[in-house]
């Protein structure tokens, strides 16, 4: 079955630490990939997306993600996290038809 896997369910970091959240997908064909973030009490927001082209994608708030086709991965990174990055992060894939498939989410807690 088509799926998206996020390896880390909970991550705790100190401010200024570097972040990498793993995401793998199981589709063999063309796939569009996304990272969404949900801050406490807010709606899901798009952080960044990959459709084609440069596999290193830059998003909002200093986040970036790298699409590695050979590894079926789309990991999210940020060089230095802030307390305000505390949120839940969702990787999602869009395999060509009009519904997103999400991973289970990763809760990030950044301690000041």
Partner 1 sequence: EAGVTQFPSHSVIEKGQTVTLRCDPISGHDNLYWYRRVMGKEIKFLLHFVKESKQDESGMPNNRFLAERTGGTYSTLKVQPAELEDSGVYFCASSQDPFTEGALGYGYTFGSGTRLTVV
Q: Residues in the site for partner 1, rule: CB under 8 A? A: 4, 32, 34, 36, 41-46, 49, 51, 90, 92, 94, 97-105
Instruction: Provide the terminal-to-terminal Cα distance of the chain, rounded to the nearest Å.
Output: 40
Closest to partner 1 by CB, 31 or 81: 31
Q: Is the dihedral of CA 45, 102, 100, 68 positive or negative?
A: positive
**Minimum distance of partner 1 from residue 83's CB (angstroms):** 22
**Minimum distance of partner 1 from residue 87's CB (angstroms):** 14
Closest to partner 1 by CB, 17 or 32: 32
Closest to partner 1 by CB, 68 or 100: 100
Closest to partner 1 by CB, 51 or 83: 51
**Minimum distance of partner 1 from residue 106's CB (angstroms):** 11
Tell me the β-bridge partners of 64.
58, 77
- CA distance readout (Å), 51 to 33, 34, 95: 7, 9, 11
**Minimum distance of partner 1 from residue 59's CB (angstroms):** 12
- CA distance readout (Å), 64 to 2, 76, 79, 97, 98: 24, 6, 9, 25, 24
């Amino acid at each position: 079955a088509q799926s998206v896997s996020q390896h880390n369910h909970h991550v705790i970091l100190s401010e200024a630490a570097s972040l990498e959240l793993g995401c793998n997908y199981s589709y063999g064909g063309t796939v569009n990939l996304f990272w969404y973030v949900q801050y406490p009490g807010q709606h899901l927001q798009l952080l960044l997306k990959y459709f084609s082209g440069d596999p290193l994608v830059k998003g909002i708030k200093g986040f970036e993600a790298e699409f590695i086709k050979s590894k079926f991965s789309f990991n999210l990174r940020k060089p230095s996290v802030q307390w305000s990055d505390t949120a839940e992060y969702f990787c999602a894939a869009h395999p060509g038809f009009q519904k997103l498939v999400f991973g289970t989410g990763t809760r990030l807690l950044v301690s000041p």
